[in-house]
Structure 1
Amino acid sequence: MARFHALRVAAVDRLTDDSVALTLAVPEELRERYRHAPGQHLAVRRTLDGAEVRRTYSICSAAPATGGPATLRIGVRLVEGGAFSTHALKEIAEGDELEVMTPAGRFTLDPAPGLYAAIVGGSGITPVLSIVSTLLAREPGSRFCLIRSDRTTASTMFLEEVADLKDRYPRRFQLVTVLSREEQQAGLPSGRLDRERLTGLLPALLPVERVAGWFLCGPLGLVEGAERALREIGVPRALVHEEIFHVDTVAPAPAAPAPAHSTVTARLDGRAGTWPVRDGESVLETVLRNRADAPYACKGGVCGTCRAFLVSGEVRMDRNFALEPEETAAGYVLACQSHAVTEEVEVDFDR
């Protein structure tokens, strides 16, 4: 069960004008709880101006081979109007404490021999940095191709960390950088990495048919374009893993008729309860009114923290940018985006 714990900020490193890396110290007694797979994320909670704010940030540090980590590192980029990102860049200092949820997420790679590739944009480098650094360190029979898109060199997060990987693994790590607003002296011409460009670029860069896994992370437009490009060049959907950052407002799915009276039954941390649904409430909102410990972070259908198994009944999800097709096929839903369609709905957060 996901839990929040207070972690001390051990370091604050400025990455770019609009981003920082926060290093969090993990006490020895909590290290097993913060054991993480490469690519997982943390939900951070803080009270700002009297209101609770939760945000999700991917772990960028490598996953330890054994035991739990002594430190965790996350990257925070300033979002226009973002309460927590503004607070992180201007006010968080070494020695502060943050409430941090134990790791979650399924945008992960279990290190194994083979060739892997990632297409990332902007802060989408964060989980992939953990994935590639863990893979190359643990598995000598692995190789990785990283294709990253940024606006300019000055705006590129973790520039030094990625360059260090290139120096350490020159034969096993291939780095391709595309800048959308700045010409490079060498490498690819500037411009966006859209579907059309990727369709021609990818087969020229690497043997597509030999890639064991593709990792797409960044803004919605980049990830959707990359997914379409991979589909066009024949990559099986099962090899493609996605994580979305920076989702703009998206119109919800067409509404299904809602029952006049409905209840939600939820199992959470071994205890179950049944509660009436108020008009317009999501499954998560109904549960939170009665169980404040229900897991959530973004409430936008992006992070997947509120993932639950639909035991019975039917729900409508407004949107889903977190669950893979095989997860929804197996019966999992995002509680924050789910609305009861039947009079009785039962979900299980423990599965």
Structure 2
Amino acid sequence: MSRFHFLEVIDVKQETADAVSVALRVPPELRKEFTFLAGQYLTVKLSVNGEELRRSYSICSSPFEEASIRIAVKRVALGRASNRLVAGMKVGDKLEVMPPMGHFHTPFDAGIERHFVAFAAGSGITPILSILSSVLRAEPKSRFTLFYGNTDTDRIIFRERLDELVREHGSRLTVHHVLSQGRNSDPLFNGRITADKAAQLLQRFVNDDLRKEFFICGPEQMMVNVSEALEKQRIDKKQVHIELFTSPVTTEAKKEVSHATSTAFNGQAEVEIVLDGRRHTLHMGSKGDPVLEVAIDAGLDVPYACKGAVCCTCKARVLEGQVEMEMNYALTDEEVADGYVLTCQTHPRSARVVIDYDQH
């Protein structure tokens, strides 16, 4: 199972007034463990006022670039971790991080020609920048179109870097900024990215016959809007990759149940946890706290970050028994079918359950 490691901060760049990017040096002995795919994230652990906090931050650098890893952090109102990192990170500091995780990626193939299309908003640009840079490097025949939503020009994270890439790659990269407080002469680029606006953008700028790969990253409502537009165009869901950047608020969960029959179970369950090759037995009810919280309360050093079904840091595999997940925004349908769960959302639905964190 992945563990935390201390990495040295070697660069801090102020991207906007409320966002920074932080480069971390990966020593030779950890480079294999910190090999990453474009679109993945790092889980960061830090202490604020004596309380341990864990947060996931997407990698914005490309795996085809330098040996360091760069993440981006945007200040969140009342966000204890983000405020500490944005205001306090400096070169020479050590940041405690877990090796890369995440499924927001697709394999690259230098021999094929595709059209990558991304919708991002705010800090959702972070993994998109990694994917975008990697596509331009790894697939020389492919092109990339980015629709990037922000409040105004001052809030555009990585604006300089995007401009550089456009100049460097010419017609292979097109970036369209959509500003909610914009005053563009073309109203299509003003306001939020609604389902109707997404459909119009696609109709005007994505009308070639190349195979498409779509990436959507940002707040929930933007993700829902763009997904609706793609669904109306009958885009194959296998071509659509989604990364939710906030805990869900208004929509239904992606997947509610896994590895369970419809039989109600309301008793006490014996839940065996496999962690680092050792087995630990917990007793918990079918209602109340999920497996992750019960394991933490029992003193087990299980992996976790968001606790909101958005990341997959707490992923584990069910080896025996039946369970139910409340929500799932991180696991693919294939992973769910293969027995994987998000333990922050998992409750027992049989008298005995075995969950293996070592099969992350």
Taking structure 2 as the reference length, the TM-score comes to 0.90
C-alpha offsets along residues 33-52 of structure 1, whole Å, 9 cap, x if unaligned? 11101111000001110110
Provide the secondary structure at the position in 2 that maps to 1:198: helix
The yes-or-no answer on 1:277 pairing with 2:284 is: yes
Q: Confirm or deny: 8 A CA contact 2:247 2:309 kept in the other structure.
A: no
The corresponding residue for 2:272 is 265
Q: Does the CA-based 8 Å contact 1:147-1:175 persist in structure 2?
A: yes
Superposed CA offset, 1:104-153 (max 9, x none) = 01111222232211111111100010011011112212211111111111
Deviation for aligned residue 1:302: 0.8
- What is the deviation of 1:84? 0.7
Q: 1:251 to 1:236 in 2, by over 3 A?
A: closer
Letter in 1 for 2:274: R
CA positional deviation for 1:308: 1.7
Instruction: Tell me by how many angstroms 1:185 deviates.
Output: 5.9
Cα distance in 1 for partners of 2:233, 2:40 equals 28
Match of 1:292 among 297, 300, 305: 300
Tell me what 1:101 maps to.
Answer: 98
Match of 2:51 in 1: 51
Q: Secondary structure at the match of 2:274?
A: strand
* Mapping for residues 28-177 of structure 1, pairs under 5 Å: 28-64=28-64, 70-112=67-109, 113=112, 114-177=114-177
Show structure 1 runs of 5+ residues with no match. Answer: none
| Residues 1:185 and 1:199: Cα distance change in structure 2 (over 3 Å) | closer
Structure 2 match to 1:193: 193
Offset of 1:249 from its aligned partner?
A: 4.3
In 2, distance between residues paired with 1:307 and 1:261?
A: 23
Which region of structure 1 is more displaced relative to structure 2, 315-324 or 18-27?
A: 315-324
Deviates more, 1:201-210 or 1:333-342: 201-210
Partners of 2:188 and 2:197 within 8 A in 1: no
- Please, which moves more after superposition, 187-196 or 124-133? 187-196
SS of equivalent residue, structure 1 residue 308: strand
> Residue type matched to 1:166 in 2?
V
Q: CA deviation at 1:100?
A: 0.7
Deviation of the 1:171 alpha carbon = 2.0
What RMSD in Å do the two structures reach over aligned CA positions? 2.3
Partners of 1:221 and 1:144 in 2: how far apart? 23
Check conservation: 1:264, 1:286, Cα contact below 8 A.
Answer: no
SS in 2 for 1:44: strand
Out of 320, 326, 329, the residue aligned to residue 318 of structure 1 is 326
Given that residues 177 and 189 in structure 2 are in contact (C-alpha distance below 8 angstroms), is that contact kept between their aligned partners in structure 1?
A: no
Aligned with 2:133: secondary structure? helix
SS at match of 1:163: helix
**Separation in structure 1 between the aligned mates of residue 141 and residue 199 of structure 2, nearest angstrom:** 28
TM-superposition CA deviations, 1:74-121 (whole Å, max 9, x none): 110011111111101222221111101111011112222322111111
Partner of 1:4: 4
SS of aligned partner of 1:171: helix
SS of the residue 2:227 aligns to:
helix
Residue 75 and residue 331 in structure 1: after superposition, are their counterparts in 2 closer, same or farther (change >3 A)? same
Check the 8 A contact 1:115/1:144 in 2, yes or no: yes
Query: For structure 2, which runs of at least 5 residues remain unmatched after alignment?
Result: none
Q: Given residue 305 of structure 1, which amino acid in structure 2 is its aligned partner?
A: T
1:259, 1:343 within 8 Å by CA — same for their partners in 2? no
Q: Partner letter of residue 87 of structure 1?
A: R
- Kept after mapping to 2: 8 A contact 1:202/1:208: no
Equivalent residue, structure 2, for 1:233: 233
- In 1, are the aligned partners of 2:178 and 2:193 still within 8 Å (CA)? yes
Q: Hey, what's the Cα distance between the residues in 2 that align with 1:7 and 1:160?
A: 26
Which residue is 2:314 aligned to? 306
Residues 159/107 of structure 1: CA separation in 2 closer, same or farther (3 Å cut): same
Larger deviation, residues 221-230 vs 207-216: 207-216
Q: 1:209 to 1:216 in 2, by over 3 A?
A: farther
Offset at 1:187?
Answer: 8.5
The residue that corresponds to 2:223 in the other structure is: 223
Q: Partners of 2:252 and 2:232 in 1: how far apart?
A: 28
The answer to which of 158-167 and 341-350 deviates more is: 341-350
Cα gap change, 1:260 to 1:54, in 2 (>3 Å):
same
Deviation at 1:248, TM superposition (A): 5.0
How does the TM-score come out when normalised to structure 1? 0.92
- Report whether the alignment pairs 1:345 with 2:345: no
CA distance in 1, matches of 2:69, 2:355: 32
Q: How far did residue 208 of structure 1 move?
A: 6.6
